[in-house]
Amino acid sequence: MEKKKQQQVVVVDDSAEVRQSIQKRLEEGGYETVSFGDGLEMLSSLRRLDDPPDLVIMDIDMPRLDGFSTCRKLREYEARKQLNWSGRDPLPVLLISSDDTLENRRQGFRLGCIDFIAKPFSPDEILRSVNSFLRPETAFAGMSALVVDDSQVVRYLVGRCLARIGLQIHEAGDGQTAYEMLCDQNLDVDLVIVDYRMPRMKGDEFVYLVRRCPETAHLPVLFLSSEGDSDHIITMFRAGASDYLVKPFISEELQARVKVHLQSRLYLSQLEEMNRNLYDLAVRDSLTGLYNRRYLMDFLTRIFARIVRSGMDLGCVFFDIDHFKRINDSQGHDFGDHVLAEIGALVRRLVRGGDLAVRYGGEEFVLILPRAGLGACIGVAERLRSSIESHRFTSGDKSCRVTISAGVATVLNDNPASASELIQLADRLLYVAKSRGRNQVAPKLVVEEEV
């Protein structure tokens, strides 16, 4: 029989939607997939195959034959050599279920299942689990470990064991060198494996120092030791160890312990990224991509007093779109949204890295310009006004040109005295610009008497 070019995963679920979702993500990940609507269909198909699939993903709750019963039947077929590939390792099964209980997990693992994933799940979660079993070298791709041991042989054996699960390996022959690599040279690793007894600096002293370094305070550290008495183990943990392993050890146990810590690190990293994304959603305007009014006030409150004390320049440009209601009335609100989104893009291209661009509300926008005096702020406002005036806004068969009016205010000699007063002053100057005919910039010093 021709050898399979891709690893094959069987998906068994009575929901066509679930099957399609899993299959789509696995195929994007490079797997071949086959699906069945229930366990009986799958068992019947397996008995006709000459070569087994590489893995089965199966729902517990299915009509005719549930996942547990299907798995039990599969193990019976394997034990009785009723499959064409009998004699090989048991077929790996990953269970999924909306009924995530401890008893269900225990029952699944007793049947030799490799993982249990609760519904609802993301397709990415399924792919990660499949990769961790079928492609262990990719599960932790991009992650690295530092192996610290005075024995070159131990470093080689541990490094080779960890390289099999995809880790990049760094080595140090003693604790002092390892500490310098981490805290002085800023070596970025995801886990440290360190021997307890070494020259120059013992393992417990090394970990104590690593825990005091802010960049490495939460780095997982696994001790290797030839001593396994309880007092010695307690000493390791008091020094700051995350885990330990007594020499001699088997590679499977080392890999299993390392995987637990790396998976936790991945989950923590994903959680931090999710929190950053959620925060970004909370403080950004979804239409323009600019920050929103809430973030503006938080930002200004944090920096205003510090900037005033330091004597640093701080400018504010407050602008809005002239006659925006006419655009909405004549072209429709969808086109109005298109104009707002394009203005957001124009603003993002114009501002510097340290500037803050905000959609204040409706058709109103604010720019906060640290280290910019009045002349620089006027220059920014004029470039923005000119850029928008010369831009043609087009969406489908609709097209128009728009203009803006802007007020420019800066902090000078503690005036304005607060962040909110700075915003209010720029807002009043905006209306001075409108009263003068629109499509212009009104700076603080030029129109001070009118304000």
Q: What is the pLDDT along the chain (451 residues), one digit of tens a residue?
A: 345 568 999 999 999 999 999 999 999 999 999 999 999 999 999 988 888 899 999 999 998 899 999 999 999 998 888 888 766 778 999 999 988 888 888 899 889 898 899 888 889 889 988 987 888 767 787 889 999 999 999 999 999 989 888 889 999 999 999 999 998 899 999 999 999 888 888 888 999 999 998 889 889 999 988 766 677 778 888 889 899 888 888 888 898 899 889 988 888 887 888 888 888 888 999 899 999 999 999 888 888 888 878 888 899 999 999 999 999 999 999 999 999 999 999 999 988 888 999 999 999 999 999 989 999 999 999 999 999 999 999 999 999 999 999 999 998 765 787 889 999 999 999 999 999 999 999 997 544 444 4
Q: What is the pLDDT of residue 448?
A: 44
Q: What is the pLDDT of residue 281?
A: 83
Handedness of CA 133, 136, 142, 144 (dihedral sign): positive
CA distances from 383 to 83, 171, 388, 440 (A): 75, 55, 9, 11
Class of 8-134 in CATH = alpha beta
* DSSP for residue 114: S
SS3 394: strand
Catalytic residue positions, numbered: 363
Q: If residue 147 lies in a helix (H) or strand (E), which one and from where to where?
A: strand 144-148
Q: What is the pLDDT of residue 247?
A: 82
CB 346 within 8 A of CB 384: yes
Token pair in block for residue 194? 């360190």
Q: If residue 359 lies in a helix (H) or strand (E), which one and from where to where?
A: strand 356-361
| CATH T-level topology, domain 139-278 | Rossmann fold (3.40.50)
CATH number of 291-443: 3.30.70.270
Helix extents (H) in 135-226: 136-139, 152-163, 175-179, 203-212
Contact residues for 87 (Cβ-Cβ < 8 A; gap 6+): 81
Q: List, as one string, the DSSP characters of 42-96.
A: HHHHHTT-SS--SEEEEES--SSS-HHHHHHHHHHHHHTT-STTTTSPPPPEEEE
Q: If residue 345 lies in a helix (H) or strand (E), which one and from where to where?
A: helix 333-350
Domain definitions of the chain by residue range: 8-134, 139-278, 291-443
Token pair in block for residue 382? 């004029």
Quote the crossing angle between the two packed helices 67-79 and 39-46, to the nearest 10°.
20
Q: How many CB atoms lie within 10 A of CB 87?
A: 7
Q: What is the pLDDT of residue 316?
A: 94
Q: What is the rounded CA–CA span in Å between residue 47 and residue 42?
A: 9
The domains spanning 8-134 and 291-443 adopt the same CATH topology: no
